[in-house]
Amino acid sequence: MENRSEIPLGDQFAATIDWWRDAGVDYEFSDEIVPLLADEEEPQETRPVAAQKAETLEEPPEPKLKAADLPQDLAGFRDWWVGPDNPFANGHTARVAPIGKEGAPMMVLTTMPEPDDRDSLLGGAQGRLVTNVLRAIGLDPNLAYLASALPCHTTLPDWTQLGADGLGTALGHHVALARPQRILLLGSKLPTLFGHDPAAPPEEFVAIGQTATLVSFAPDRLLDHGRQRARLWKRLCQWTASA
């Protein structure tokens, strides 16, 4: 019988692996490269995708204002609007109350008071523009209800954040208390506060609740752009003719 030393199976396997490694063949080549000789890695603990997404999604912050916080009559709302509890008075100018009576034939809702407004809303060039518009459509300006979306003049307001804070709730409540017959909304960003799709043209917003609404640019923009004033006049003629 031939006498030879037996090589353990483990040593044979290790020698084979070393040979393939020395030959530079330590991967299986297919559509995807798979390491054959790499050390095995501990499998990573995976969590359901839904659970991972749930951790990354943060709950939206509570709005600064809710409908239950608002006065339930128009006089009380006006007092609140210029008072210390209004969370939207972030400017450094005077807070200005709305003007007019409940049930007015037209409510003009603009973005904010003029910079120099103190005791009366729209007391400057913007107010003269609004007055001329109302007279042009045959409406006595003294019968209109004048209001602003912010209680004081504010530089570069963040309308998206204001909407998240509940400004739209306050404005919708104001409209419901004032009960105007129609609304002229002067500010292209304002429709989104009432739930209008930001991606849609502002002109497609035609009602606040059940009240017919016409949207145009803010008065300061209209003063600087004669073409926009002419366009507003044309739309006003069509709008009032359909009444």
Domain holding 159, by residue range, is 71-241
Determine, yes or no, domain membership for 50: no
Determine, yes or no, domain membership for 65: no
pLDDT digits (tens, 9 = 90+) for 164-197: 999 999 999 999 999 999 999 999 999 999 999 9
Determine, yes or no, domain membership for 222: yes
Q: By C-alpha distance, which of 192, 183, 168 is closest to 100? A: 183
Token couple for 201: 């043209």
Determine, yes or no, domain membership for 51: no
- For residue 211, give the CATH number of its domain: 3.40.470.10
Domain count, the chain: 1
Amino acid at 69: D
Determine, yes or no, domain membership for 30: no
Determine, yes or no, domain membership for 175: yes
pLDDT digits (tens, 9 = 90+) for 7-44: 666 666 666 666 556 555 555 555 555 555 555 565 56
pLDDT digits (tens, 9 = 90+) for 37-47: 555 565 566 66
Place of tokens 């204002």: 65
pTM: predicted TM-score of the whole model, two decimal places: 0.75
Q: How many residues does the chain have?
A: 243
Q: How many angstroms separate the most distant Cα atoms in the chain?
A: 127
Token couple for 35: 């390491």
Determine, yes or no, domain membership for 235: yes
Determine, yes or no, domain membership for 123: yes
